[in-house]
Structure formats: structure tokens, C-alpha cells
Structure 1
């Protein structure tokens, strides 16, 4: 149907991007933005559109014929998907997948992670391990990590995840990808090992060492941010004012260690920045777009999470920032990922973290990309990697 062998890697990525996009019209502005992600010229992008059966129109391209072909291909191969939900509610991501799947006649089976058990060395539950292989992909939504005294539950969840992966179907995110991204300490280590610019970080149980780190950062004129190790969405993030006394800092560290850190302190140097961060949404070898995130009118003026009242805007990204985001995704073994970049006041961009199960309600609202449809179409057409890599989680 589409002969990717005759195209460069950049052309293949743009072709996959175009085929994954569900819109019936693509503006020239959008096409040129996509071409920029993959370092392609305007002429190369236009030639690719014609080869994919897009028709030129005023200020853009008509994609209806292309979308009709995509629908035929998906229906021909009848891919099945599954959701393995470990939350008490249903994540917005999975609600959107449930809304989009019927448009392509894609069966989407939903299982509760807590309906599975482990008997000896095998999985028991509402679907057999032998039947899991039939799915084109299995989307997993795990609960937030629990307190330290509930760590056995976390290990149980990851064991189920591991056994599901042995069935052979791609699991999104893979167990390893989730573990790297969910554990901020581990994600930071992967970034630093790959020499990806990231804020200076300290993880410790020692309040004395934590205070030394605050002093170290202050010598460079920087304040310090405290974060819960395994929580997302900006929850519990606290900044230590640069003018606080040691007594004030020690009081905060002692309380934070147990109220938010479950006995652990995860600390990062605060990077002076230009007033917003960037969420780069990556799917396999394509980049779905960029969202600039600004702090909300209430709460901390330096916390940009949409879930904490932040505001989003369709964003732009430099070629260097795009390369940085993709390197971060690859370094942390991610497939569908939100990479958070912070443009520093020193003109250097830093990777704050990667998100293996990125929420995209704000992204769809502010950037205008149908992420759910793009995710389904991409995986239905081009597949996803299998999470076969082993990771050391104290096993």
C-alpha cells in the first residue's frame, strides 16, 4: 500500500504522521511545522502529500481520500486493542480511546488490573495469557505509586504487568518505560547517563545532606524544589525560598520528608526560566506537537502543570529542542511519551522529566491535535514495540 523503502527516515516519519492524522484537511502551516520536525524541505513535504493521495486546495491539502484508504486498511486487518485499567476511575486518555475506536470499527476490550491474580508463576484473570497475544496493543493505566508501607502492592502490579508482556502483544507503556518515568530518581539517572541537560538533583534520606544541597545551590544563586518521588501532575511540589534561614529549611525538610516523601527527599535545583515549559508529545518516530504551558492565576507562579491550573497554548520548538526531546524519549525507552522541556534563562533548554502515560486533555484542547485518534491509527497501521527489556526493580 505504502512503500516506505524508497523514502528517507525523515520522509517515513512525515508519512506516518500524515497517515496517523485523522483530519480531512491539513493546512500548509501545519504541514510545514511537521516537515520541520523531520528536517524536510517544503518541496519534499508537498511531494510526499501527493504520493499519499492528498489533493492540493487553497492554503492546504485535502486528506479525505487518504483517510478513506486508512480506514479500509484498518478494517481489512481488524486489529483489536485492550485497556488494562488499574485506577479506581477511568483515565481521560482511555475515555478518549473508547470514543475514537468505534469510528474505525476497532474492538476495544477493557479489563480491570485488580481482577487478575498470580498463581505460582502464571497469571489468572478475566482473559487468559494465551488470548492476550491477539491484541494489536494493550494500553495500561496503573495507579499512582502507594506509600512505602504498601510497596508490596506496587510489586504485585508490576508482576501482573510483566506476565501480561510475556503474552507477546505490545504493552503501552511497557513495564520498563513506566518504571523509568514514574520513579523520578530513576528517570533522572537515565537522563544524566545519556548526558541530557537536566536540573541538578539529589535524592536522600538525610536531612543534613539535604541542607548541604540547599547551600550548594545557593552558592550559584539558585533555590531548590522538593518533589514527591513517585507522584505526578505537580502534586506536592514545593520550592524552598532562597532567603530562608537554616532553621526554616530544616523545619520544612523534616515535615516534607514524611508528609510527602514517605521518608525520602527528592530535590532539584530550580532553573531560572522564561516563564513557561513545553510539553512535547512523541509517538514512536513521529512528534504529535508541542504545548506551551504557563502557570495558572492561582497557586505557584512557577508550576506549569495543566492539572494544577496551568494554561496551555499551541507551541513552537527549535530543531535543537526537538532533538533534545527525542533523545530524552529514546534514552528512557519510551514509545508514547510526553517530554517536559524547560527553556532556561541561560538560553539552554533542560529536560525536567518524561511521562510514560501522558495525559493529553489539555493538549487536545489547546494544541488542537486529536491525540486519541492519532494513537489508535499509528499503532493499528505501524504497530508498537514489545516491552521485552528487563529492568532491575529489586527483583
Structure 2
């Protein structure tokens, strides 16, 4: 099988996927999203970047202009339409990169999520801040690994934060802060089943992301939480997903996020699992795009 690993560089995850593909007897090429091109039929001297590949794994989406990002997503859609097994499917990538759209899918699927408000004016955000109890998490609409998130529980700080976001043309995305025991769960879903999970514990921070200093350890999820993770991945159409689940103060669980381009370095170490091999094997043997 010829596999394209789509990225913006050759980081650890890219190398891990290339190693796993070689171990399984597949040919893998690392392609930089920023160099991809397309050609209409009959144009000589140029070819579609994904022509000739059986599968493609979306590893990262490099920063770019709106036009560049849309074009890259168009290439993924075109490849999928031409029979390339694109993992994750473009619609899943689009949904998961947009926190509001993902949240809409979760709510539609009947999944428990924190009370959420998205708006464009600071005045609306201030009203939402009061309605949500004066303790919220403000998140960038596009973002990952806990970057750019801030907890706001002071009215003056809320005013300053919301005005600043409004002035930069951003979308104000607020979620009610859920009091949790200082940890959350990351479930790794492949093909509709949880293959591993880890507990991420905060170190002097309300954020539990490993990228923000959280500690990871292997965790066995109970059946209801495993089912919740699988349903969350299915809600956004992700065949491979990192699903973040947060325990609430009364024993309830919330779906916080689904990552369609999930990392697994900490999870592999904590769970002693070769995630890259599991992903490539799924792509080659099971995945039906």
C-alpha cells in the first residue's frame, strides 16, 4: 500500500507513522501540505499531489491563509472522491478543528457537554458570563493542546478579555467552568473502539493537557465512559480520534473535545501501546472511507 503522510514537517509523529508503515510492509511518503498542487486533466508536466496513493493520513495542518487552508481541505475532499482512503475524512477534520461546529454535533447526538455560548460581541459575552455563573473558560475557536484558553471568574477581567477578542475580530467562545478533581481522561478511539486511555493530571493548573505540563498515566475507562468516547468520535465522523472526557463534581462526565489529528506520544508511553502501528494497520486493513 502506498501511503501519504500529510504534514508541515517531519516531527516525532510523522516519523513514528513512517516507521510503522515500513514495519508493516507499506511504502510511505511524507508530503508537506504547503507543497500540494492539483491539475486539470490533460495538463502536462504536473500531477495531482495525491495521485497514485492508496491512503493518506492527515498528521498536521500547517498555518496558512484562509484560501490556503480551504484549498488544502479541497484537495482532501478530491482525493477521497477519487478513492483514496483519507484518514481522518475531511469532514471530520473540518468539524474537529472548529470547536463550535464540533459542539453542535455533540449536542445533536445527545452527548453531555458544558453549557456553551458563542458570540461575536463583547456585550453578548458579558451577558453570557453572568448567565453561566461568572466562571467560564474562554477558548479560541481554532486551537489545540490547551493553548490560548483562559479561565475567567472576575467581572473586570471578563470585560477586558472580551473587549480585546472583539477588537481583534475573534469569535467569543465561552464554556461554563466544570469543577473537576484535577484530572481528565483522554480516550484514543480507532474504528469505533477505545484502544487505550490515559488519565491526565494537572500540575498547579486547571488545564490538564500534557502539552501544558499535565502528567499522564494509564487508565481503564468503565463501559459507560468508553461508550461516551465512541459516540463522541462518531458524532464528528472521526475514525481515529482523541476524545477528552471530564468528570464533573457529581460523578457525571462531559465530552470536552474530539481531536481528529490526535497526538499519542504520551499515551503510547503511558499505555505501552504502539499507536502508530495500530493506525496504519487500521488504514490498510479495516478502514472504509
- TM-score, with length taken from structure 2: 0.92
Report what 2:17 is aligned to: 97
User: CA shift at 1:302, angstroms?
Assistant: 1.1
Deviations 1:127-163 (A, max 9, x none): 566523xx1x2112342565xxx32222122112222
Long gaps (5+) in structure 1: 1-78, 387-395
- Separation in structure 2 between the aligned mates of residue 341 and residue 377 of structure 1, nearest angstrom: 26
Task: Give the Å deviation of 1:306.
Answer: 0.9
Question: Which of 18, 29, 33 is the equivalent residue of 1:109?
Answer: 29
2:38/2:49 contact within 8 Å kept: no
The answer as to 2:280 corresponding to 1:360 is: no
Confirm or deny: 8 A CA contact 1:329 1:337 kept in the other structure: yes
Tell me the CA shift for residue 344 of structure 1. 0.6
In structure 2, relative to structure 1, the CA distance for the partners of 1:144 and 1:250 (3 Å cut) is: farther
- Listed as ranges, the gaps of 5+ residues in structure 2 are none
Q: 2-side partners of 1:330 and 1:143: how far apart?
A: 22
**1:169-318 equivalent positions in 2, closer than 5 A:** 169-218=84-133, 223-241=135-153, 244-245=154-155, 247-258=156-167, 262-297=169-204, 301-318=205-222
Q: How do 1:369-388 residues align onto structure 2 when only pairs under 5 Å count? A: 369-382=273-286, 384-386=287-289
Relative to structure 1, the CA distance from residue 355 to residue 125 in structure 2 (aligned partners, 3 Å threshold; closer, same or farther) is farther
Larger radius of gyration, structure 1 or 2? 1
Q: 1:105 to 1:275 in 2, by over 3 A?
A: same
- Asked whether 1:336 is paired with 2:254, we answer no
SS of the residue 2:148 aligns to: coil
Number of residue pairs aligned between Structure 1 and Structure 2: 288
In structure 1, the residue matched to 2:228 is 324
- Which structure has the highest helix share of the two? 1
Is the CA contact 1:145–1:231 (under 8 Å) kept in the aligned structure 2?
A: no
RMSD: 2.2
> Separation in 2 of the partners of 1:119 and 1:258?
40
- Alpha-carbon separation, structure 2, partners of 1:380 and 1:119: 27
Structure 1 323/286 Cα, relative in aligned 2: closer, same or farther at 3 Å? closer
The aligned residue for residue 6 of structure 2 is 84
TM-score of the aligned structures, taking structure 1 as reference length: 0.68
